[in-house]
Amino acid sequence: MAAATLDFHGDEDAMDEEEFPFDPFDADEVTDLVVQTQASQDDDDEYYRKMDAYLQQVAATLPPAVPPLPAHADLPAQTLRNSKALLRPTPNLLKATFESVHRQSPGELWLKERIAAFDAGNRRKRKEVLEEFLEFVKSSSLFGMEELFSQEAHLFLVRLTSWFSVMLPLLYELPLQLKVFLVFLEFREASIVRNFFESGTVVALMRALATDFDVPDDVRCLA
């Protein structure tokens, strides 16, 4: 039986071709390969250089970056002070407007003092208040109780109508009280007239003009 022999020459040639795409012993091929590698590296360097230039152009068009917080030693204290500043109440910009609205006129302040004296005084003191009231209105250039005394006019009218009903049986200073009512009604302000009639003073006045009361003629003329 003939001995089997293996031919390794063909396989070695195939292995050489697969492992070495060029002949390592051929100087020209090695030189060409080095030149190609250097050219490829130059192309890569050119690509990265262009990419860096492009990124720098893009960065130049972007807004500046937010700077980092300063690394100070007293940063917690500074943060606390800034927080207190934010928690501080804002100024009241409408304070002047509110003060101007609630600011009382001289006539309003004057009548407010007379109302306090009327509430605390006796009959004689209240008579003086009514006389001062008539003189003040006559010397004023305004045309209306509300224009002159504002809300205090209504408060004073309530006191006058109540006192009139109490003092009517005594006929105490009845002409003076009627003159004050006529001053209130003279300007024909709707709110003043309505409050006067709703107080019931008209009914008491009609009774005063009846025969049950000994009312002087001058009072009847005023009524």
List pLDDT tens digits, range 183-195: 999 989 999 999 9
**Band of pLDDT at residue 74, cut at 50, 70 and 90:** low
Rg (CA), the chain: 55
pTM of the shown model: 0.52
216 or 63, which is more confident? 63
User: Within a 10 A sphere around the Cβ of 94, how many other Cβ atoms?
Assistant: 9
47 or 150, which is more confident? 150
158 Cβ neighbours under 8 A, 6+ residues apart? 195, 199
Whether residue 170 has pLDDT greater than 50: yes
**Average pLDDT of the segment spanning 11-24:** 52
**Band of pLDDT at residue 83, cut at 50, 70 and 90:** low
Q: Give the CA angle between residues 47, 50, 56 to the nearest 5°.
A: 140
Backbone phi and psi for residue 216, each to the nearest 5 degrees, phi listed first: -65, 160
Instruction: List, for residues 185-222, the tens digit of each pLDDT value.
Output: 998 999 999 999 898 888 877 776 665 556 665 665 55
Whether residue 67 has pLDDT greater than 90: no
Distance CA 19, CA 36 (A): 19
94 Cβ neighbours under 8 A, 6+ residues apart? none
Instruction: List, for residues 40-60, the tens digit of each pLDDT value.
Output: 777 777 888 888 888 888 877
**Band of pLDDT at residue 1, cut at 50, 70 and 90:** very low
